[in-house]
Amino acid sequence: MFNEPYLAPRLANSEPLTPLHFLRRALDVHAGATAVVWRDMELSYEAFGALVRRMAHWLTAQGVGQGDVVSVMLGNRPELLAAHYAVPGIGAVLNTLNTRLTRDEVAYILDHAQSSILITDRVSVGDAGDDWPTPIGTLCSNPGFGDGVDFFADDMPESALDYTPAQESDAIALNYTSGTTGAPKGVVYTHRGAYLNALGNVAALRFDDRTRYLWTLPMFHCNGWTHTWAVTAAGGTHVCLDRIDPVALVETLVAQKVSHMCCAPVVLHMLLEQMDRPTAQRVRVGMGGSAPTPTLINRLDHLGSDIVHLYGLTECYGPVTVNAPSFAPETDADARARQLARQGGRHHTTGAVMVLDADGMPVPADGATVGEIALRGNTLMAGYFRDPEGTEAALGSGIFRTGDLAVMHPNGEIQIQDRAKDIIISGGENFSSLEVEAVLHQHPEILLAAVVAAPDPKWGETAWAFVEVKPDCSTCEQDLEQFCRSHLAGFKRPRRFIIGDLPKTATGKIQKFELRQKARELTDDVPV
C-alpha cells in the first residue's frame, strides 16, 4: 500500500542532492560571516558568492556549457574554492589538477578529460602551457595586479546562482588518480556523492559555524576530501594557504585561530619542527596516509592538537572511515598510538566497509585475520571516465576492492596491514612493512621512513629501508642497523638502509613505487 502512485516523489518533496545548495544556504544564513581568509584579505559569504558569480559568468562567456570539463590548476587560493561552485553552477564538470605534475602529465589529463579550458596562474603553469591546444585563462598574481583575469574586480559581470542538476547522478567533478601503476584514471564524482560525503565529513570532523579550517590539504586532491563543500555546509571559514611553507603555516595557524586542518604526516612533521609552544586553542587534525607514532602523538598533544585518523581513496571521494577516540587524561602515548593506528569505522554516509578473504567472504572480526578492504555505498565513484572496461572491473561485482590489506577488530574498526603488493615474504615468513616503519619512526633522528620489498637471491625478498633524517642529524646505516637489532626480529630487519630525501606526491604521500624500482636497480649491490 505504500507504493501507491500518489506517494511517488514530486516537485514539492524531491529535488536532486547537490553541494550547490550548501553555498545557497550559507548566503541566506551566514551572509555577513567570514567565508574565506587569504593573505591579508577576508571575504564574507556575501563577497565570496559574488566571486563565484563572476567566475560563472566569465566561464559562460568563454563558451563553457553544461557537460563541459573545466580544468583548474592552482594552489589553495580563493579562486580554486570558488571553482567548486562556479563550474558545477553552470552545469559543467570540475577537473582540479595537481600543481606538481609535469607538462606531459598535465597535457595527458587535459586531452583525456577533453577539457574546454584551463584556469591557472603563472606560479602553477609557468611558461610551459603557452603552446597547449586547450585555451588557458591565467589569473592575476594578486587582486588588482592586472596581469591576468581578476575575479575580485567589482566591475566584472555576474551570473545568477540558480542552477540545479537535472539528475543528482550527474557528474560534478573529474579527479585523476596518481597513475603510479599506469596512466592516470579519471574518477567521476556525482552531485549526490559529493553532497553525501561532504555531510559525512561535517559530522566526522565536527565542523560548525565556528570552524576555521586551514587549507594545508590541497584542494585539488579529491576536491580537498570534499571539504571544499563541507566547510561551507557548516558555515565555517576557509583559511587559504597558497603553498606549504613551515613559517607561514605556523603563523597562520596561530593568527587565524585555526580549529581544523587535514594533511599527510609529512606536513605534521614540518609543523612540529617549526612550532615551539602550544596554540591557544585545540586543533583537530585529520590525518591520512600512515598511522601516527607515539612520538608524533605526544608532540602534537603538547602543542594543542588532537589527531583524527582518516582512510579513503580517490575512488570514494576521500575519507570513508574515521578513528577519533576519546582518551582519559592518564592514557600514555603508546596506548594512544595503538588505538590511533586503526583506520577506524565507517563514517556517517559511508555505505559498507568490509574486509574480505580471497573468496569474497568476510574475515573473522578477530583483529588478526588479514583480508582485503572492500567498499559499497553512495560515496563511491560513478566510474572511470572513458573507461567502461575499467569501470566494470572495479564496480561490476557489486563491491569495490581497494587493494589494501587489513584486519577487522571485534568492535568493527579496520586496521590496515599493508597494500597487497607491499607485504614482504622473506624466507617463507610474512610481515608488514608498516610494522618495520613504525619501529624506525621511533628513532629520534628519523623524520620519515619507508620500507619496501627488494629481491634477494637467498630469501626471495628482504626489507629495504629508505630513510629521511631530521635536519642537522648525522645518523648512519650502522646506527640504524643497531637500532633495528634491538627492536625487530631478524627476518624483519631491513637488509639495507638508504638515507636521503624520499619521493612524495603533492599531498605528501611517499611514492613507494619509485623506491621499489630503486631497490630493484640496486639489488646487485646487496652483499650475499
Please report the pLDDT score of residue 365 as a whole number. 98
Instruction: List per-residue pLDDT tens for the chain, 528 residues long.
Output: 788 989 999 999 999 999 999 999 999 999 999 999 999 999 999 999 999 999 999 999 999 999 999 999 999 999 999 999 999 999 999 999 988 887 888 999 999 999 999 999 988 776 555 677 799 999 998 888 888 999 999 999 999 989 999 999 999 999 998 654 467 899 999 999 999 999 999 999 999 999 999 999 999 999 999 999 999 999 999 999 988 888 999 999 999 999 999 987 778 878 888 888 888 899 999 988 667 777 788 888 888 899 999 999 999 999 999 999 888 888 887 888 889 889 999 999 999 999 999 899 999 999 999 999 999 999 999 999 999 999 999 999 999 999 889 999 999 999 988 766 667 878 656 677 888 998 899 998 998 999 998 988 777 788 999 999 988 888 889 999 999 998 887 878 999 999 999 998 766 778 888 898 899 888 865 443
For residue 68, the surrounding DSSP H or E stretch is none
**Would you say residue 304 lies in a domain?**
no
Distance CA 276, CA 127 (A): 40
The SS3 call for residue 163 is coil
CB 308 within 8 A of CB 263: no
**Would you say residue 472 lies in a domain?**
yes
**Would you say residue 286 lies in a domain?**
no
* Total domains present in the chain: 1
The alpha-helical segments, DSSP class H, found in 114-226 are 122-125, 191-205, 222-225
**Would you say residue 391 lies in a domain?**
no
Distance CA 48, CA 232 (A): 11
Q: Which residue has the cell 577519533?
A: 324
Considering the entire predicted model, what is its pTM?
0.85
**Would you say residue 473 lies in a domain?**
yes
**Would you say residue 427 lies in a domain?**
yes
CB 310 within 8 A of CB 287: yes
Tell me the three cell numbers of residue 407.
584486519
**Would you say residue 432 lies in a domain?**
yes
Distance CA 87, CA 286 (A): 27
**Would you say residue 369 lies in a domain?**
no
Determine the structural domain holding residue 429 and report its residue range.
423-525
CB 57 within 8 A of CB 156: yes
485: CATH: 3.30.300.30
The three state secondary structure string of 429-467 is: EEECHHHHHHHHCCCCCEEEEEEEEEEECCCEEEEEEEE
